[in-house]
Amino acid sequence: MAEDSNERDTFGEELFEVLSKIINLAGFRARVEWRKRGDNDYYINVRTRRSDGLLIGRAGETLRSLQMIVTAILQRRYSRLPSTVVDVGGYKQRRENFLRKKAMAIAKIVLETGREMALDPLTDKERRLVEQALDEKPEIRYYTIGTGYRKNVIIAPR
């Protein structure tokens, strides 16, 4: 259900219907909640009693696939698709917080030791999130190595 809105939000309602149907067809019993976070930004979260891990998958792979399916379905219906985040049990929010804290902790170690350190391989979105966090520390520089689906961020002193 949309929060802070008395107007009917057809995109939010359709987003809810699409994701709810996918979850039900996959055999999960879940509560699906959505909210509009800005003019063109939606967040939808799926909560299950015991199946969050299955819907998230290893390193979020299943959740990324679920996001892609929902986006593909909605792109067929809308010429301009709002920004939409599909989450399960708040996993994406927890992961973002974890990555920011980890990047800052490694930056602190890099400054103390004067040596470069590498983060685990990250998706492009996770890498951008880490880079935004590191931009707050002018005494740190970072660069990316690797190609393909997952790349490593190297954190180094300036």
Confidence of residue 8 (pLDDT cuts 50, 70, 90): low
Task: Note down the domain range covering 147.
Answer: 94-157
110: CATH? 3.30.1370.50
Boundary (domain end) residue, out of 43, 61, 89: 89
Residue 3 lies in a domain: no
Residue 94 has pLDDT above 90, yes or no: yes
Residue 80 lies in a domain: yes
- Please tell me the total count of domains within the chain: 2
Q: Tell me the torsion sign for CA atoms 12, 14, 19, 20.
A: positive
Instruction: Give the per-residue pLDDT at 148.
Output: 78
In a shared domain, residues 31 and 57: yes
Closest CA to 91 of 30, 45, 126, 51: 45
In a shared domain, residues 123 and 70: no
Confidence of residue 17 (pLDDT cuts 50, 70, 90): very high
Q: How far is CA 76 from CA 16, 73, 80, in A?
A: 16, 6, 10
In a shared domain, residues 102 and 50: no
Instruction: Give the per-residue pLDDT at 34.
Output: 94
In a shared domain, residues 98 and 80: no
Residue 30 has pLDDT above 80, yes or no: yes
Instruction: Give the per-residue pLDDT at 7.
Output: 53
